[in-house]
C-alpha cells in the first residue's frame, strides 16, 4: 500500500514537471517571436535616428535637444531608481550656460533653487 502511494506521487510529480517544462518552453518561444516581430517592425518603421545611452543630466538634455530638432531618439537607461548619491543636484555655472545654449533655461524656473556661494567637500 505504501509503495503504491509513493509510485502515484512520483508519477504525479513527473507529469507536473513535464507539463510545466512544456508550458515554459512554449511561452519562451512566443516571447522570442514577439521580440523578433517588434524588432522587424522597428526596422520597418525606420527605428530611431539616435540612441542615447544613459538618462542622466547630460543624456536627458541631449535627447531632448535632438528630439526638439526633429530626430527620433531612443534613450537607454540601466535602471530608473532614484540615485542615493549627490549627482546633478548642484548646478555648476557651466551647466546653466549649457542649458541656455540648448534653449532649456526654462527648466530652472519654478524649482526650489538656492544660490550657493561656496562648496566644501570633506
User: Residue 83: what pLDDT?
Assistant: 60
Q: How far apart are the two ends of the chain, measured CA to CA in Å?
A: 75
User: Residue 101: what pLDDT?
Assistant: 83
Band of pLDDT at residue 38, cut at 50, 70 and 90: low
User: Residue 53: what pLDDT?
Assistant: 93
CA-closest candidate to residue 75, choices 98, 99, 58, 50 = 50
Comparing 24 with 16, the larger pLDDT belongs to 16
Per-residue pLDDT at 51 exceeds 90:
yes
User: Which DSSP letter does residue 105 get?
Assistant: G
Whose cell is 509510485? That residue is 7
CB 71 within 8 A of CB 49: yes
For range 38-56, the mean pLDDT: 76
Class of residue 52 by CB neighbours under 10 A (exposed 0-12, middle 13-18, buried 19+): buried
Per-residue pLDDT at 49 exceeds 80:
yes
Band of pLDDT at residue 94, cut at 50, 70 and 90: confident
Amino acid at each position: 500500500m505504501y509503495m503504491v502511494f509513493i509510485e502515484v506521487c512520483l508519477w504525479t510529480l513527473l507529469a507536473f514537471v513535464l507539463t510545466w517544462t512544456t508550458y515554459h518552453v512554449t511561452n519562451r518561444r512566443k516571447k522570442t517571436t514577439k521580440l523578433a516581430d517588434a524588432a522587424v517592425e522597428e526596422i520597418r518603421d525606420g527605428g530611431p535616428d539616435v540612441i542615447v545611452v544613459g538618462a542622466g543630466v547630460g543624456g536627458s538634455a541631449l535627447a531632448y535637444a535632438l528630439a526638439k530638432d526633429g530626430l527620433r531618439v531612443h534613450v537607454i537607461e540601466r535602471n530608473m531608481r532614484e540615485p542615493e548619491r549627490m549627482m546633478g543636484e548642484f548646478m555648476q555655472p557651466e551647466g546653466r550656460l549649457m542649458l541656455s545654449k540648448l534653449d532649456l533655461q526654462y527648466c530652472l524656473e519654478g524649482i526650489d533653487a538656492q544660490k550657493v556661494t561656496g562648496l566644501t567637500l570633506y
